[in-house]
């Protein structure tokens, strides 16, 4: 059975897949139908204490309380933007912190999910990189993050799309990510269609192939440069898995009806020239891909500035002329520290200022 544990030392049942929940029920001496009831409380009703599981026998609830713990991710800060974006700073059981972002648009409500506390990838354009990696999230913490965020969606709305683009490199936490994706998409779990889930990576090549082979979710690759020289500086993982290896791996993937999204953060005077756009078009020509051009969200101490809208639109037009699908992701939540990792920094700065 999986051995992920909470800060208390007890496991969270949301770490467990269905066969493992069946083992729990059997070990507690309960009939098999209790598995379905337990899963309904965990995922359909999303309760966070065993006493609320009213149709479970008292002795089973006592067994669960003695052997398991349901982690509750406490919101330390909830910031709401004028554009409707909601950013959450959530405390884990050991008081480490992660960020989640709810992004509403007329067509969908997207949740940006963290998979690690901090990040080890060291990308120069990312505020989270300055934290370094504190630790991986457990499967249960990822699920609890989704549940916690769902409680902060505006009335009358619900989450429709899920993107692993928050704190951390999801593929560096692959075993727990895979279990979380299984629970998120299972009929006995959260019941989310895999078509509604995207996992973003900065380029962990071996894990990209595993993700695409073992799941039906969508893939996004944070590219942000068209030469190895520049990408080495912006995303140091490129020194291990250079552009040629990354793109060849993407070309070989069995995608079915899926299409890879390449994310390209627009940095003024760094990667936003017409020559960059032409190189990007040539690199992606052999792939079934689309490009998402992203306005850089500045953060304190950042060495970059966002490209102007005119420059981004010119860049997009070059891609269009080369028959690439290219969208512009509008900058959201800039009034609430939207850059990933920034809310955590600002929250602690305010706390220090209040002492």
By annotation, the residues acting in catalysis are: 99, 340
| Tokens coding 15 | 């770490």
Residue in 98, 101, 68 with CA at minimum distance from that of residue 83? 101
What's the CA gap between 205 and 316, in Å, rounded?
Answer: 27
| Tokens coding 166 | 């928050």
User: Would you tell me the crossing angle of helices 205-214 and 243-252 to the nearest 10 degrees?
Assistant: 10
36 C-beta neighbours (distance < 10 Å), count: 12
Q: What dihedral angle (degrees, nearest 10) is formed by the CA atoms of 143, 148, 154, 160?
A: 0
CA of 316: how far to CAs of 262, 279, 296, 310, in Å? 13, 13, 15, 10
CA of 218: how far to CAs of 201, 252, 258, in Å? 11, 15, 7
Q: Determine contact, residues 79/103, Cβ cutoff 8 Å.
A: no
Per-residue b/e over 1-33, b at no fewer than 16 CB within 10 Å? eeebebeeebbbbbbbbbeebeebbeebebeee
User: Would you tell me the crossing angle of helices 274-284 and 309-321 to the nearest 10 degrees?
Assistant: 40
What's the CA gap between 126 and 224, in Å, rounded?
Answer: 12
117 burial via Cβ count (<10 Å: 0-12, 13-18, 19+): buried
220 C-beta neighbours (distance < 10 Å), count: 19
């Amino acid at each position: 059975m999986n051995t992920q544990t909470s800060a208390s030392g007890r496991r969270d049942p949301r770490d467990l897949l269905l066969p493992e929940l069946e083992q729990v029920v059997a070990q507690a001496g309960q009939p098999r139908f209790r598995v379905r009831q337990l899963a309904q409380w965990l995922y359909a009703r999303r309760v966070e204490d065993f006493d609320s599981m009213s149709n479970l026998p008292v002795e089973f609830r006592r067994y669960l309380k003695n052997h398991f713990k349901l982690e509750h991710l406490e919101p330390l800060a909830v910031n709401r933007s004028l554009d409707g974006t909601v950013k959450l700073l959530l405390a884990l059981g050991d008081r480490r912190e992660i960020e989640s972002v709810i992004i509403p648009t007329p067509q969908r409500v997207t949740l940006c999910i963290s998979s690690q506390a901090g990040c080890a990838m060291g990308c120069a354009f990312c505020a989270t990189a300055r934290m370094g990696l504190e630790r991986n999230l457990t499967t249960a913490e990822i699920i609890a993050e989704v549940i916690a965020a769902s409680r902060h969606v505006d009335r009358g709305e619900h989450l429709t799309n899920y993107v692993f683009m928050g704190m951390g490199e999801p593929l560096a936490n692959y075993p727990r990510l895979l279990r979380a994706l299984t629970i998120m998409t299972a009929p006995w779990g959260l019941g989310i269609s895999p078509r509604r889930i995207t996992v973003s990576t900065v380029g962990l090549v071996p894990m990209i192939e595993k993700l695409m082979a073992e799941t039906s979710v969508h893939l996004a690759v944070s590219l942000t440069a068209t030469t190895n020289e520049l990408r080495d500086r912006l995303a140091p993982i490129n020194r291990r898995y250079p552009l040629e290896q990354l793109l060849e791996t993407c070309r070989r993937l069995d995608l079915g009806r899926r299409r890879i999204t390449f994310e390209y953060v627009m940095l003024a005077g760094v990667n936003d020239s017409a020559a960059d756009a032409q190189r990007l078009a040539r690199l992606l020509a052999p792939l079934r891909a689309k490009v998402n051009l992203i306005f850089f969200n500045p953060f304190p101490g950042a060495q970059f500035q966002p490209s102007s809208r005119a420059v981004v639109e010119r860049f997009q037009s070059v891609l269009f002329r080369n028959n690439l699908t290219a969208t512009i992701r509008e900058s959201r939540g800039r009034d609430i520290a939207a850059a990933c990792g920034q809310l955590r920094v600002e929250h602690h700065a305010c706390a220090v200022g209040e002492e």
